[in-house]
Amino acid sequence: MNVPTRAARERASFNQAAITAELAAAISDERAGRQTGAVSAVMRRAVVAARVDAMKHADRGDRIAARLARSIETLIKAIFGGAAPDGAPIAVCAVGGFGRGELAPFSDVDLLFLHGSGDDAALRPILDAMLYPLWDSGLKVGHGVHTPKSALQFAKDDMIARTAYLDMKFLCGDKPLFDKFDADFRKFRKRTTAQFVAAKLAEQAVRQEAVGATRYLAEPDIKEGKGGLRDVQTIRWIYNYVYDGDIGAGTEIDKILGPNNVRALIKAERFLWSVRAHLHDLRGRADEHLTFDIQPAVAERLGYADRKNMSAAERLMRHYFVTAVDTGRLTRILCARLEEESTLRLPRLPALLPQKLQSDEAPGKPNIRIRGGRLDFESAARARRTPRDFFRYFRAFSKNPKIDFHPDALALIAEHATDVTSDVRKDPIVASLFKGILESNENPVRTLRVMTETGLLGKYVPAFGDIVGRIQYGLYRQYTLDEELLRALSIYGDIRTGRLADEHPVSTRIVRAATNPYVMTLALFLHETAWTVKGKSPLECEKLIGRIVRRLGLNRDEAALASWGAANHLALVRTAERRNLTEAGTIARFAAEVGSIERLDLMVVLSTCHLRVVGRYSWDEVVRRQLTELYESSAAWFRGGEAALRERLQTRAMLAREEARTRLADWSDEEREAFLSQLTNEMLRCVDSDIIVRFAYLARAAAEDRADAAVTVTPRDGDLECIVYADDRPGLLADIAGAVANAGLSVRSVQAMTTTDGRAFDIFAVQSADDAPADDPMLARRLHEALLTAARATPKARPNLKRRLGDRRQIFHVDPAVRIERDASQDAVVFEAEGLDRPGLLFEIAAALGALDVSIVSAHVATYGERAVDAFYLTNARGEKITDRRQLTKIEKALFAVLRAGAAA
């Protein structure tokens, strides 16, 4: 990083007169030949001093940007004074952000050099004398050299240049040259307003799509992201281009947006500039991504403090998301004004209210109309008095989403959302309208998102309002809680319509057979409510959700089902990932805890929708297979008890064996049956048939080569799938996990099994620690070699467990926890170890267990971002279930020691 040291900061000071004099002396020395590089040396010190001065003496981001821009302007003028002879036909202009008087600590400095129509070669010495010191100073300088005529032509041809020139400012040199171009450019702008507006809105859409077309990313790009600083600037650019004036300048054009909206825009801009300025300063470079590692430091700089239920970083991010929403609202308002003035061309939209929008679930005619092709209130005064009209407004949109919202209506709703009191929340007609929004709409997510952005949805369902703009500070989730919830509802909508029938046949079948799908809709809508409950108690969460869904129209039995499912939906995936699903006892205990097939059906639908969107790696084929197996086995238990469950497990193993037999038809009968006899029913029940076949050929190759081990490494969905076949021995799992860690990779999941003849059959899913794809061929070859070496014998050297560059897990804290479940398995004791994930964690845990002379019957690894939860089925060295309390305590202490070592690192 280029961050100055504290000593350098204390020495740095930006005295305009002193630095100007120092530059003049350096220029004189270079001209006289007394020194070389003197100007560049002064400029390097001056730029550092300017940055330190701006951060030290300005209390707000916009003021930091303005102060730094003035300092850089001073430096450029001083260099120009020494580089250009008096009367030189050249004008130096600041453009882009520099022209607006806005520079973040490491922003680009964009310049336009205007010159007359004379010899370009005469300009070269002047340009060199100016640009080289600027480049040497560490500034990133962009520049263009034009005559007024060529600059205008360039603006006509290039929209980026046209936008940059919009904020042009004369710095020094030939003022008439600048005035000539400025006058010509203003004339050109008046003829091309519609073209410019359309181009900037299209450019905005492309930019937002490239960085993630949502305002609700947990690690946003504060400059280019949706709702970020570039969107604020786009509003200003459009406003300036169309109305030839700046927002907030106190002129008549401010009436177009209105004083409240002007203040909102300025407030959003100041906040974003504050975040950006401190982000640059902390990073020591131009970085616009507000990532988890820097969020706490930025929050501290801006004065945020921890609160009872929210950390300082979470409070900062919530402020950011509220600002991003406001930026979107202001963009919508400006576009509507432009449409009304015919600056933007409208698609053909109805002028009269369509018939189907003239009635809804409430009595009387809705208070809505079409204005300017958008949906508006017919009487704003009535809407202010009648909060029910807010819900009728969104109900109308849900019937015809092609008619967009009018920003005046949304502004009114946002202003009066606080009028949604307890009486409104208890109104059964409002509940009917809300049900219509959720149910009588192919995909209600856009409606709900705008209801969220106006504040209406959070006021109507306060438990939802409490999660709006909140993030889970960690690597697991990628969106805010409310955005994740809305995206889960979008998945649910696609399941209901059958669009995801091939991907989710079980959920599709359940939803289609549901007697009241509204139960599932409300359960999914409220499944993140635990974040609003102290201690996240499932029981308290269930009580809260029960009260909400009764108010929203469910009867007592439906409310009990929806509230239980929403409060307990994670139990399905936790059991699927952390337990041995080949044991009938495990399935039976889980099903008994669930209690009914209706609850099970609801859980699988909620889990599917939740896991599809919550994290980058929360859903894949392994997870789908695990959930399906647990669901189908539990459903069998509900249909016919333990007898039906055991029959299903036995049938599954038999079918898997037959499929493997069919796919190995080219083997001799003797060879095929010899291989299949080595596979237990438990192995066949939990492993995909493709893996069984690959394992067969792996075992055959090892036998032919008389090898004691064999390994395959196969790219799969950005990860590496590793199959290890070796003689089983104490510590084998640790050795293999160490080889993975030594390659700089992380174990995402593992299935460790043993054949009937004592051979280990281990399957690892391996991923990179920095979210990059791990399927590089060279990496796969290195990993294959390392795994093969470890499978043959315990490596002599301990693996290198240092964190790799880009591994961000260490910036978080996870409280270590060890849980012992003596009754989770008939034949083994289950230990769950939960803590901060790190390179080699599985290796260290397995090595610690090996040192205690216990056997790992099976291991189940689950990772949730920076959090690892590893479950181990353990027996003693004789293969017996551990019952000795002293040995159980030793294991517990050993696991805690490993986890705490990582927490302290």
What's the pLDDT score for residue 664? Answer: 94
The mean pLDDT value for 321-327 works out to: 88
The mean pLDDT of the chain is: 88
The mean pLDDT value for 386-408 works out to: 93
First-to-last alpha carbon distance for the chain, in angstroms, is: 23
State the Cα angle at 489 between 485 and 494, rounded to 5°. Answer: 150
Residues 6+ apart with CB under 8 A from 178: 91, 93, 114, 168, 170
| Pairing status of strand 709-716 against strand 719-727 | antiparallel
Give the C-alpha separation, 387 to 410, whole Å: 13
State percent of the chain over pLDDT 70: 93
Distances (CA, A) of 1 to 279, 283, 554, 791, 823: 13, 7, 57, 42, 53
pLDDT at 255 over 80: no
- pLDDT digits 0-9 by tens, 802-857: 766 567 777 888 899 999 999 999 889 999 999 998 888 999 999 999 899 898 88
pLDDT at 644 over 90: yes
What's the pLDDT score for residue 342? Answer: 57
Q: What φ, ψ does residue 249 adopt, rounded to 5°?
A: -80, 0
Confidence of residue 227 (pLDDT cuts 50, 70, 90): confident
The 3-state secondary structure of 850-902, one letter per residue: HHCCEEEEEEEEEEECCEEEEEEEEEECCCCECCCHHHHHHHHHHHHHHHHHH
Indicate the SS3 state at residue 60.
coil
Kindly report the pTM of this predicted structure: 0.85
Instruction: Give yes or no for a contact between 270 and 262, defined as CB atoms under 8 angstroms apart.
Output: no
Confidence of residue 715 (pLDDT cuts 50, 70, 90): confident
Handedness of CA 216, 221, 222, 228 (dihedral sign): negative
State the Cα angle at 558 between 553 and 559, rounded to 5°. Answer: 70
pLDDT at 503 over 70: yes
What's the pLDDT score for residue 806? Answer: 63
Describe the chain by its helix, strand, coil percentages, rounded to 5.
Answer: 60, 10, 30
The mean pLDDT value for 573-598 works out to: 93
Q: At what angle do helices 584-594 and 621-663 cross, to 10 degrees?
A: 140
What's the pLDDT score for residue 696? Answer: 92
What's the pLDDT score for residue 136? Answer: 94
Range scoring the smallest mean pLDDT among 235-249, 262-276, 647-661: 235-249
Q: What φ, ψ does residue 514 adopt, rounded to 5°?
A: -65, 135
Give the C-alpha separation, 602 to 595, whole Å: 12
| Pairing status of strand 829-836 against strand 854-864 | unpaired
The secondary structure element, H or E, covering residue 713 is strand 709-716
Range scoring the smallest mean pLDDT among 342-346, 644-648, 892-896: 342-346
What's the pLDDT score for residue 745? Answer: 84
Confidence of residue 703 (pLDDT cuts 50, 70, 90): confident
The mean pLDDT value for 472-495 works out to: 89
Indicate the SS3 state at residue 184.
helix
- pLDDT digits 0-9 by tens, 115-145: 987 666 778 889 999 999 999 999 999 999 9
Confidence of residue 12 (pLDDT cuts 50, 70, 90): low
Instruction: Give yes or no for a contact between 692 and 684, defined as CB atoms under 8 angstroms apart.
Output: yes
Confidence of residue 217 (pLDDT cuts 50, 70, 90): confident
- Reported for 265-271, long-range contacts at CB under 8 A and 24+ positions apart, including other chains, are 265/232, 265/235, 265/327, 265/330, 267/323, 267/326, 268/232, 268/323, 268/326, 268/327, 268/330, 269/62, 269/229, 269/232, 270/60, 270/61, 270/62, 271/61, 271/319, 271/320, 271/323
Give the C-alpha separation, 416 to 767, whole Å: 49
pLDDT at 71 over 90: yes
Residues 6+ apart with CB under 8 A from 785: none
Range scoring the smallest mean pLDDT among 105-109, 350-354, 566-570: 350-354
- pLDDT digits 0-9 by tens, 58-70: 889 999 999 999 9
Q: Could you tell me which residue, 372 or 183, shows the higher pLDDT? A: 183
Instruction: Give yes or no for a contact between 76 and 171, defined as CB atoms under 8 angstroms apart.
Output: yes
Confidence of residue 498 (pLDDT cuts 50, 70, 90): very high
The mean pLDDT value for 353-366 works out to: 92
Instruction: Give yes or no for a contact between 868 and 841, defined as CB atoms under 8 angstroms apart.
Output: yes
- pLDDT digits 0-9 by tens, 751-762: 888 899 888 888
Question: How many helices (DSSP H) and strands (DSSP E) are in the chain?
Answer: 39, 14
Confidence of residue 772 (pLDDT cuts 50, 70, 90): low
Instruction: Give yes or no for a contact between 262 and 268, defined as CB atoms under 8 angstroms apart.
Output: no
Give the C-alpha separation, 481 to 78, whole Å: 52
Token readout for 393 is 């407004």
Confidence of residue 347 (pLDDT cuts 50, 70, 90): low
